[in-house]
Structure 1
Amino acid sequence: MRYAYLQLGSDADTEEAVDLTFDAVMDCWPRMLGMENLEGYAWTILKRRIIDMHRKRRRRPELMEAAAFEAAVADHIEDPYDALTVAIALYAAVASLGERQFDAILLHYRMGFTGPPPT
């Protein structure tokens, strides 16, 4: 849920994406039981539902812009505009990473996970 919310930014969209993910998992559960990496397959389904939600709403992900603003206002610093500029540059660089690297950064730094992301 937290990952989907960071990607979608809306409680309603997050709930819909996660519900659709669980429905898809239930539909193919017998087949999934024979898979070596259940978590990775479920992760892929969730990521596809998130992409579908963005397409359905015809919008692009806003995670990086929101996170940059949060980073700038979260700390009590002398120059919040300078912090915002640095945060925007950092998040733009992270956004240009490949999918797996982006997920690793998001899961570790925004969500606190320390293990590898599901494959």
Structure 2
Amino acid sequence: MTTRELFEDAVQRHGPTVLRVCRALLGPTADADDAWSETFLAALRAWPTMADGTNVEAWLVRVAQRKAVDVIRSRARRPTPVEALPEARARPDASDSARIELWDLVAALPERQRLAVAYHYFGGLPHAETAELIGGTSAAVRRAAADGVAALRRNYRPTPAAEGRHP
């Protein structure tokens, strides 16, 4: 296979995982899609010099994490134009509200739990690969992910409309 074919194969195989990681860290926004694109642009530039035997998926997830951090930093520097805000917003439906609430709860988790949940549950990475990315042992990452999920279960209270029921 040519270098181009190898890279295209990596995008096909690992693109969904990278997108899940970007969305886990940034929420289901255009910023996550931008981080995905930036991840593969950086990967394309670095691809010719990648060492043989590199765990491509773990490497791409690490690049995605760094690109997501760049997006978060740029958000802090980006001014919000007040005049451009609409006077009245359309009311989000219950599923949007529930999704936003869940993402807010994920974002509020302690960093280690948030990363363990994001990489394992949203990114689909095994605990061992997640441990390589965030440091520690597979067992410690498994515990952090379990603690994060337990915290989400304790704190997530969807409204009756979000659950498809009416009061």
What TM-score, normalized to structure 1? 0.57
1:104 to 112, 116, 125: 116
Please show how residues 17-32 of structure 1 align to structure 2 within 5 Å: 17-32=35-50
Please report the RMSD computed on the Cα atoms of aligned residues, expressed in angstroms.
Answer: 3.3
Query: For the residues of structure 1 that align with 2:47 and 2:118, how far apart are their CA atoms?
Result: 28
1:22-43 residue CA offsets vs partner (Å, 9 max, x unmatched): 0000001012252432222111
- Gaps in structure 1 of 5+ consecutive residues: 60-65, 72-87
Aligned residues with identical type, % of pairs:
29
Q: How far is 1:114 from its partner?
A: 7.0
The equivalent of 2:126 in structure 1 is 115
Query: For the residues of structure 1 that align with 2:66 and 2:118, how far apart are their CA atoms?
Result: 17
CA contact (8 A) 2:21 2:65 kept: no
1:46 to 43, 49, 64: 64
1:70 to 99, 102, 105: 102
Letter of the structure 2 residue corresponding to residue 96 of structure 1: P
Letter of the structure 1 residue corresponding to residue 41 of structure 2: D
Query: For the residues of structure 1 that align with 2:41 and 2:74, how far apart are their CA atoms?
Result: 18
- When Rg is computed on C-alpha atoms for both structures, the one with the higher figure is 2
Q: Tell me the secondary structure at the aligned position of residue 45 of structure 1.
A: helix
Query: For the residues of structure 1 that align with 2:31 and 2:107, how far apart are their CA atoms?
Result: 23
Sort the Cα spacing of 1:42 and 1:108 in 2 relative to 1 into closer, same or farther, 3 A.
Answer: closer
Q: How far is 1:55 from its partner?
A: 0.4
1:84-111 residue CA offsets vs partner (Å, 9 max, x unmatched): xxxx6x985xx2253xx532223445x3
Sort the Cα spacing of 1:67 and 1:57 in 2 relative to 1 into closer, same or farther, 3 A.
Answer: same
Letter of the structure 1 residue corresponding to residue 126 of structure 2: G
Sort the Cα spacing of 1:43 and 1:113 in 2 relative to 1 into closer, same or farther, 3 A.
Answer: closer
Sort the Cα spacing of 1:11 and 1:91 in 2 relative to 1 into closer, same or farther, 3 A.
Answer: closer
